Amino acid sequence: MRMRLTNAMAALSALALAHAAAIAQGPPPANVRIDAAREESLMIPRSVTGEIVSLRRTLLAAQAEGFVVELTPNAGDSVEKGAVIARLDDTIAALEVKRAEADLRAAEGVVMEREASLARLRRDFERTKQLETRGSATTSSLDAAETAVRTAEALLVQAEALVLADEARVALAQRRLRDMTITAPFDGRVVRKETEVGAWLSAGDPVAEIVSLTELEARIDVPEHLVGYLSQDLGSIAMSIPGLGTNADTTARVISVIPQGDSLSRMFPVRLAVEVPKVEQDAGADTVGLRPGMSVTAFVPTGSVEPVLTIHKDAVLRDDAGLFAFMAVPNSDPNNPMVTGQAIPARLSRLFAAGDRVAIRPGQIRPGAWLLVEGNERVFPTQPLMVQDPPAGTPFAGGSGASPSDDQPGADAARGDN
C-alpha cells in the first residue's frame, strides 16, 4: 500500500514538473508570412448603394377558373422548370375533352361514309357515260349522275370541315385541361404563395411568385457626374455585399448604364454582373449566398488620384468588435533563434478594395508596418512568431532580434499605445 502511494506521488510530481517546464517555455511560436503596409497613389472611388435583383421574376397566375385542389411548394422552396406548383379541379375539363374527342370520331365516321358514297356515285357516273355513248342511256340520266357526284363531293368537303372544327375543339379542351395544372416556367425559388387549397380562382388570379437565383445582377444608382467614368471597357469595380459575410468583398463587371436617369435626383441606374464563385445547389447552379434584395455598396471611380494606405487583403481579420490585423513586431527569443517577432493586434477601418489590397484609414497601422498574411487565422495576441521567407533587410531576416523602437512601425502598438 505504501509502495503504491509512493509511486502515485512520484507520478504527480513528474506531471507538475512537466507543467512548470511548459509554462516556463511559453506559448509555441506560429509559422507565418508577412507583407508590408504601404502608401500608394490610387483613384479614390465614391461609394454608391444598390441591390441585387433577379432578371427573372414572375407572378404565376391561373389561366382557367376552378377550385384549388393541390398547392405543392411553400415559400422558400426550390422548384425546377416544369414542376407542379398548383392543380385546379379538372373533372369538368376532363369530361369536355372526352366529349370533344367523341364528336371528332363521329365526324371522321361521316367523312368515311361520304367518301364511300362519292366513290359509288363516281362509278355510276362512269357507267352511265359509257351507256350514253352507245345510245343505251339518255342525256338527262347522264346529267343526273353527274349532279349526284358533285353533290357528294360538296357533302364530303362539308364533313371534312366539320372534322377540322372538331379537332380544334379537342385541342381547346385539352389546353383547358392542361391549364388546370400550373407549373414553374423556370428554375428558382418560391417567394410567396398567393392562394391556398380550397380557394376559387378565376382566370388571371395570382397563385405564387417565383424568382430565379441563377440569373442575378446588381443595380446601383450613380450620380450623373460620375456616369462618364463607367463603361463596359472599364472592366470590374470593387463591391461590398454585407449579406455574403466573409465573402462580402468582391468585384462586379459593368454591363451597361441605363440611358434614362431620374429627373429629380439625376441618378442613373447601372447594371453590374457580380463576380462570385458558384456551387451546385438543389435548383441548379446557384450563386453562393447571393439573393435578390440584398444590399450592395459599389465603389465608383471619380477620377481623383490621392495617396492612401493599403494592406494585403489576406491580412484583414474580423471578430465581434470589427476588423483588425496582426502586426509582426520584432521580438527575438534567446532560447529559440528562429523566433524573431511577436503578434500584436491592431484595429483598422476599411475604405475600399483595390485588387488584392485594401485601402484603410491611418491609425495603429502605419506605412511600413509588417502584417501577417498567412497563418494569421490561428494566431493569438503576443504569440511568438517564426516568419517564413522574411524580406531581406527586415528585422525578421537573419535573427536580428531587434526590439521595437520609435522609428519602427508598430512600436506604439507593442507598448500598448493607441
For the chain, what are the domain ranges? 28-54+214-415, 63-87+180-211, 90-179
The number of CA neighbours under 13 Å toward the Cβ of 83 is 17
State the pLDDT at residue 288.
56
Domain 63-87+180-211 = CATH 2.40.50.100: yes
State the pLDDT at residue 1.
47
Q: Which residues are bridge partners to 240 per DSSP? A: 249, 297
> Can you give the C-alpha Rg of the chain in angstroms?
41
pTM value is 0.59
Successive 10-residue mean pLDDT values, the chain, 418 residues: 48 43 62 93 88 92 93 89 94 95 95 94 91 83 91 94 96 95 92 92 94 90 87 76 81 87 88 70 54 90 87 91 91 76 91 84 91 92 90 70 44 44
Cα torsion 394, 398, 400, 406 to 10°: value is 0
168's enclosing H/E stretch is helix 139-179
Burial class (CB in 10 A: 0-12, 13-18, 19+), 212: buried
Class level of CATH domain 28-54+214-415: mainly beta
Q: Check if 28-54+214-415 and 63-87+180-211 are the same fold.
A: no
- Within 8 A by CB and 6+ apart from 309, the residues are 37, 38, 39, 359, 360, 361, 362, 365, 366, 367
